[in-house]
């Protein structure tokens, strides 16, 4: 195998790739899905309560609110602006803390607490903000709540739906770019006769296939990283993130070679992609519905590449938590290599016969 010839084939694919509608579709699809699922719908699934505060006396309540996660806090200059914002539903609720409020509460007095509620806010957000405000007042007073509350999480650590949709977008970014692009490139070259011309030159079929795999790996890696960046899901382990994305991109390109060498034309390639859709995209539904039995997701081969990305990018874990998944993905890839070899030899015989 000549590294130079392989790079020439790769350079040709990279230069001509943007002319292909499928190549451009692979690039634009993750961006479009991010906009549709995250921007258009994400806020409908788990909107954060929006609270506006007017603080005339540097209250401890404001400082505590600023430390809290899950509440979108806005400091407003005047009570009039706060009321206008609540009335316009720019905020779910508004809290006015007059000067000396904390001192009055600690002295046992009952100062006036203006708390405004938007009529268009969700009832859940009203409840959250009301209970939070009362609890913080009790903290300032120094009294303990009348009850002890025990909180038990159900589901996947309470992750919002917008976060659970990230694997859906990731799967499209990986397998449209990593599998579909090299497969379609290989099939197009079969149909146009370019592949036959290449194979009668010094270029070997193995060099063409490796170049296609590198093309899919590069494109899938870039788009997967871009997708995570757009969805604010880069985690806190940069090295681990690069490793798991690279492994998933390489795995997807191997699947692309299987499809590309097995398909005789574009029609059969599209049929194979559609037919394998449940195998490729099946695992992502278990992230959307974490209450389903998770062991079922492990039956899908693509689970072993998407789950490490989920663990590292979303849950912030390291390679020590996903090394077994990566080994399984590597094992599946190694099993597919001789399959690609057999399909490649069959493809060459058909090209010669034609």
- Whether 338 is covered by a domain: the verdict is yes
Whether 33 and 79 share a structural domain: no
Whether 188 and 116 share a structural domain: no
Which pLDDT score is estimated for 157?
43
> Pick the residue with more confidence: 124 or 282?
282
Which pLDDT score is estimated for 149?
43
Which pLDDT score is estimated for 56?
85
Domain count, the chain: 2
Whether 312 and 164 share a structural domain: yes
Whether 73 and 215 share a structural domain: no
Identify the domain containing residue 116 by its residue range. Answer: 47-141
- Whether 227 is covered by a domain: the verdict is yes
Tokens of 133: 């405000």
Which pLDDT score is estimated for 304?
95
pLDDT at 18 over 80: no
- Whether 77 is covered by a domain: the verdict is yes
Name the band, by pLDDT with cuts 50, 70 and 90, for residue 259.
very high
Task: Dump pLDDT digits (tens) for 302-347.
Answer: 999 999 999 999 888 999 999 999 999 999 999 999 999 999 999 9
Whether 256 and 317 share a structural domain: yes
Whether 134 and 73 share a structural domain: yes
Whether 127 and 165 share a structural domain: no
Note whether 207 and 9 are within 8 A (CB).
Answer: yes
Whether 297 and 349 share a structural domain: yes
Which pLDDT score is estimated for 147?
46
- Whether 149 is covered by a domain: the verdict is no
Which pLDDT score is estimated for 163?
76
Mean pLDDT of 88-112: 87
Name the band, by pLDDT with cuts 50, 70 and 90, for residue 155.
very low
Which pLDDT score is estimated for 156?
43
Q: Average pLDDT, whole number, for the chain?
A: 85
Strand 114-117 and strand 93-97: the pairing is antiparallel
- Whether 298 is covered by a domain: the verdict is yes
Whether 68 and 194 share a structural domain: no
The C-alpha atoms of residue 249 and residue 219 are separated, in whole angstroms, by 8
Which pLDDT score is estimated for 303?
95
pLDDT at 154 over 60: no
Least confident of 125-134, 186-195, 245-254: 125-134
Mean pLDDT of 5-30: 83
Whether 317 and 197 share a structural domain: yes
Whether 61 and 136 share a structural domain: yes
DSSP label at residue 52: E
* Degrees to nearest 5, angle at CA 118 with 114 and 121: 135
The C-alpha atoms of residue 307 and residue 7 are separated, in whole angstroms, by 32
pLDDT at 100 over 60: yes
- Whether 223 is covered by a domain: the verdict is yes
CA distances from 10 to 92, 188, 219, 258, 264 (A): 54, 15, 12, 18, 22
State which of 4-13, 56-65, 243-252, 270-279 shows the largest mean pLDDT: 243-252
pLDDT at 271 over 50: yes
Mean pLDDT of 87-112: 87
Q: Find how far residue 52's CA is from the centre of its chain.
A: 31
Which pLDDT score is estimated for 24?
84
User: Domain boundary at 112, 141, 170, which?
Assistant: 141
Note whether 125 and 71 are within 8 A (CB).
Answer: no
User: Domain boundary at 141, 170, 204, which?
Assistant: 141
> Pick the residue with more confidence: 147 or 242?
242
- Whether 22 is covered by a domain: the verdict is yes
Any idea what the CATH number is for the domain that residue 63 is in? 3.40.1710.10
Task: Dump pLDDT digits (tens) for 136-146.
Answer: 888 887 765 55
Mean pLDDT of 8-22: 82
Contacting residues for 289 by C-beta, under 8 A, at least 6 apart: none
Task: Dump pLDDT digits (tens) for 160-202.
Answer: 666 778 888 888 889 889 999 999 999 998 888 888 887 778 8
Whether 58 and 135 share a structural domain: yes
Say what percent of the chain tops pLDDT 70: 91
Task: Dump pLDDT digits (tens) for 37-91.
Answer: 766 555 544 567 899 999 988 888 998 888 887 788 999 999 999 999 999 888 9
- Whether 154 is covered by a domain: the verdict is no
């Amino acid at each position: 195998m000549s590294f130079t010839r392989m790079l020439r084939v790769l350079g040709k694919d990279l230069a001509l790739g943007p002319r292909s509608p499928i190549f451009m579709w692979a690039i634009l699809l993750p961006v479009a899905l991010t906009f549709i699922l995250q921007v258009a719908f994400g806020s409908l699934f788990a909107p954060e309560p929006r609270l506006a505060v007017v603080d005339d006396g540097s209250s401890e309540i404001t400082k505590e609110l600023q430390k809290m996660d899950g509440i979108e806090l806005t400091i407003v200059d005047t009570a009039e602006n706060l009321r206008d914002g609540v009335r316009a539903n720019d905020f779910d609720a508004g809290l006015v803390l007059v000067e000396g409020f904390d001192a009055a509460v600690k002295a046992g007095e009952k100062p006036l607490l203006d708390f405004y509620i938007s009529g268009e806010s969700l009832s859940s957000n009203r409840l959250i903000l009301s209970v939070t405000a009362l609890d913080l007042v009790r903290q300032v007073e120094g009294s303990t709540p009348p009850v002890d509350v025990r909180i038990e999480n159900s589901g996947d650590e309470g992750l919002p739906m917008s976060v659970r949709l990230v694997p859906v977008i990731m799967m499209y970014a990986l397998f449209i770019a990593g599998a579909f692009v090299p497969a379609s490139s290989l099939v197009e070259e079969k149909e146009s006769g370019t592949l036959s011309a290449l194979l009668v030159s010094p270029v070997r079929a193995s060099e063409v296939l490796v170049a296609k795999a590198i093309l899919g790996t590069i494109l899938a890696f870039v788009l997967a990283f871009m997708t995570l960046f757009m969805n604010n899901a880069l985690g806190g382990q940069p090295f681990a993130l690069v490793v798991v994305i690279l492994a998933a991109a390489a795995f997807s390109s191997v699947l692309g070679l299987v499809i590309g060498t097995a398909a005789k034309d574009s029609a059969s390639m599209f049929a194979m992609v559609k037919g394998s859709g449940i195998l490729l995209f099946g695992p992502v539904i278990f992230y959307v519905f974490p209450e389903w039995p998770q062991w079922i997701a492990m039956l899908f081969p693509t689970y072993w590449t998407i789950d490490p990305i989920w663990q590292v990018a979303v849950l912030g874990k390291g390679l020590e938590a996903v090394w077994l998944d990566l080994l399984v993905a590597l094992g599946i890839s190694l099993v597919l290599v001789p399959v690609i070899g057999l399909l490649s030899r069959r493809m060459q015989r058909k090209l010669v016969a034609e």
